[in-house]
Amino acid sequence: MRGTIGTNGYLVVARDIRKSYAEVQALAPMSLTVARGERVALAGPSGSGKTTLLYLLAGIVQPDEGQVAIDGRSLSGLTPGEELARLVSVMHQQFDLVPNLPVVHNVLAGRLGRWSLMRSVLSLVWPQERRLAEDTLAQLGIGDKLGERTSRLSGGEQQRVALARLLVQSSLIVLADEPVSSLDPARADDVLKLLKELTESSGKTLVASLHSPDLIRRYFSRVIGLREGLVQFDLPVDEMSDGVLQRLYQLNNGKGQVASVEVV
């Protein structure tokens, strides 16, 4: 079948992918496989290629070389839209909700890839699959907010709405780009706990970028360290030592010299 490739049972197979922006290498050639149900943390300093890798896995950007397949489907053959939406969903640093819409429509936006245009527009007047939205919000502890305008919700509640949208999209793999970087420690813990529980209970796969060793240990099963576009290590979480993470974030330019910090 066109667009399908052998995956040896892995959910995500990235083969020899490489990405540069202009002259800058964002990601050196690398290969990566992720099994169904894994929770992978991507760690590394800013500019290390975490976001590039996530975007390549999400099909948001295309690799210069190599290819990414999810569930045996090559992403290069898929146009953004329905098919891609079933394979991958992405959670960004901001919640990216539409503040003027009631919560229910922001949640059901996750279904737009599966609905016809008629149904999508009709839903704005007469919410479709309302029960799904209700149940998902209830699961996240904000079942009473269904009809509320999204802009009236607190930051934590909006984060849950964004999570609910991700869940109703019901893709095979959830990618999260620094999902907790703008949150206080308690809320960061809460969001990752929810992400873990929800992906675990539905057999979904999670790949997220984050920095905190504690949170990585608590909520992920595997950690990949990136630096300057190169994979430094790829370990099960229980084999990750503090030293290995510390070295990853050390301020030097990779040649043993401490990078000079310019005072502006």
Partner 1 sequence: MWRLFDNRRLLSLFLGVALVWSLASVDWGSAGVHSGGGGTLREFVLAAFPPELSPDFLRVGLAAAWQTATFAVAAITIAVVVGLPLGALATGQVVSSSSRGRALAVGARLFLAVIRSVHELVWAVLFVAAFGFSSLAAILAIAIPYAGILGRIYGERLADVPDEPLRALRASGASPVAVLAYGRIPIALPDLLSYTFYRFECTIRAAAIMSFVGIRGLGFEIQLSLQELLFSQVWTLMLFLVGLVVLVDLWSSKVRRSLAA
Question: Footprint of partner 1 on this chain (CB under 8 A)?
Answer: 58, 60, 79-82, 84-86, 88-90, 92, 94, 96-101, 105, 109-115, 117, 120-121, 124, 165, 169
CB of 220 to partner 1, least distance (A): 22
Q: With respect to partner 1, which residue has the nearer C-beta, 148 or 190?
A: 148
Residue type, 221: S
236 token code pair: 């099960």
Q: Nearer Cβ to partner 1, position 43 or 161?
A: 161
Instruction: Name the amino acid, one letter, at 197.
Output: E
CB of 96 to partner 1, least distance (A): 4
Q: Please, what is the minimum distance in Å from the beta carbon of residue 101 to partner 1?
A: 5
Cβ-based nearer residue to partner 1, 50 or 105: 105
Which lies closer to partner 1 via its Cβ, residue 60 or residue 237? 60
Q: How many CB atoms lie within 10 A of CB 132?
A: 18
* Partners of 43 in beta bridges: 225
Q: What's the closest the beta carbon of residue 260 comes to partner 1, in angstroms?
A: 35
We find the least distance from the C-beta atom of residue 28 to partner 1, in angstroms, to be: 26
* Cβ closest to partner 1, residue 75 vs residue 223: 75
User: How far apart are alpha carbons 30 and 11 in whole angstroms?
Assistant: 17
Residues 112 and 183: their CA atoms lie apart, in Å, by 28
Judge whether 26 and 6 are in contact, CB under 8 Å: no
What is each CA distance from 169 to 3, 104, 107, 226, in whole angstroms?
23, 14, 9, 29
Distance CA 130, CA 106 (A): 12
Minimum CB separation from partner 1 for residue 194, in Å? 18
Nearest CB to partner 1, comparing residues 81 and 254 = 81
Shortest Cβ distance from residue 36 to partner 1 (Å)? 21
Cα separation of 93 and 17, whole Å? 24
What DSSP string describes 50-102? HHHHHHHHHTSS--SEEEEEETTEEGGGPPTTHHHHHHEEEE-SS----TTSB
- Cβ proximity to partner 1, 44 vs 59, nearer residue: 59
Compute φ and ψ for 232, nearest 5 degrees: -90, -35
